[in-house]
Amino acid sequence: MSKKAPLVAGNWKMHATLAEGRALVSAIVTAAPGLGNARMVVIPPFTALSEAAKLTVGTAVGLGGQNIHWEDKGAFTGEISGPMLRDAGCDYVVIGHSERRQYFSETDATVHKKVGAALRHGLTPILCVGESLEEREAGKTIDRIGAQLDVGLGETGRGDAERIVFAYEPVWAIGTGRTAAPAQAEEVHAFIRGKLEEKYGKPTAACAIILYGGSVKPANAYILYLERDIDGFLVGGASLEADSFVGIASEALRASKEE
Ligand code: 13P
């Protein structure tokens, strides 16, 4: 059975000057027409968003921010709001990345408020979930992901839930070179889809986009994408080079056509 077209998002994290960002986005935009209906999204640091928007506007490449505050404006030094992200040209925003949870004390409750803010402002949330190594080794992976989804989604209704992209990123696979085995990733993706089915019904669950993230490279993208419930990737390190980022999209596209 062939699969839906892949979504491949590149989270640059705290990388790239303006000049580096321009070169990277230009190369990705140039490659996009060769990638059929695969969708690529670039997620630069806030400082490069406006410049990236100039290059992505009117192209098939989407643009996202790495974080959002739940209020629209106010005395929140260092934060950035939904209207600001829209103003800078964003369509997407990453919410609840494990680095935000780990280093900046984000909780499932703040993740929920951020999801609401993103939806309110017409941004597609990329809602990240994932277990630590300790949680995996203690057999608590599914419980942890379930709790992150329950609290992160809260009372979000079906219509809004259908606008969310989900990303499963096991913390132990991020930046470590240690990718989850395809079957390990699939087990959690299938659980996420099942959870969405419980909450919102089968059609919503079937259409949901669930990305995998954690040491994705062109060399492992094909085999991961063959898994039934993996709809694309959230890429860190390999999104900082156009060749590897585009290579991942191209491998996912190839796998999506596999019968
Ligand atoms: P790496 O691809 O560098 O492991 O990072 C994954 C990630 O955290 C994307 O958000």
Q: For residue range 147-167, list pLDDT tens digits in order.
A: 999 999 999 999 999 999 999
Mean pLDDT for the stretch of residues 40-48: 98
Given a cut of 70, whether residue 168 has pLDDT beyond it is yes
Half-sphere exposure of 104 (CA within 13 A, CB side): 14
Catalytic residue among 97, 112, 121, 189: 97
Compute the distance from residue 177 Cα to the ligand 1 centre, in Å: 10
pLDDT at 199: 97
> Rounded to two decimals, what is the model's pTM?
0.97
Residue 4 has pLDDT above 90, yes or no: no
- Is the Cβ atom of 213 under 6 angstroms away from ligand 1? yes
Q: Which long-range contacts (CB under 8 A, 24 or more apart) does 22-25 make?
A: 22/48, 22/51, 22/52, 22/55, 24/240, 24/241, 24/242, 25/51, 25/52, 25/55, 25/56, 25/61
Q: pLDDT at residue 259 above 90?
A: no
pLDDT for position 253: 96
Instruction: Identify whether 69 is a catalytic site residue.
Output: no
State the chain's mean pLDDT as an integer: 96
| Ligand 1 and 220: CB distance under 6 A | no
Whether 1 has a pLDDT exceeding 60, the answer reads: no
Q: Does 236 sit in the ligand 1 pocket, CB within 6 Å?
A: yes
- Indicate whether 20 pLDDT > 70: yes
Annotated catalytic, 97? yes
pLDDT band at 99 (very low <50, low <70, confident <90, very high): very high
Q: Are 11 and 66 in contact (CB under 8 A)?
A: yes
**Across residues 48-74, what is the average pLDDT?**
98
The DSSP code for 40 is E
Ligand 1, atom 9, lies closest to the CA of: 236
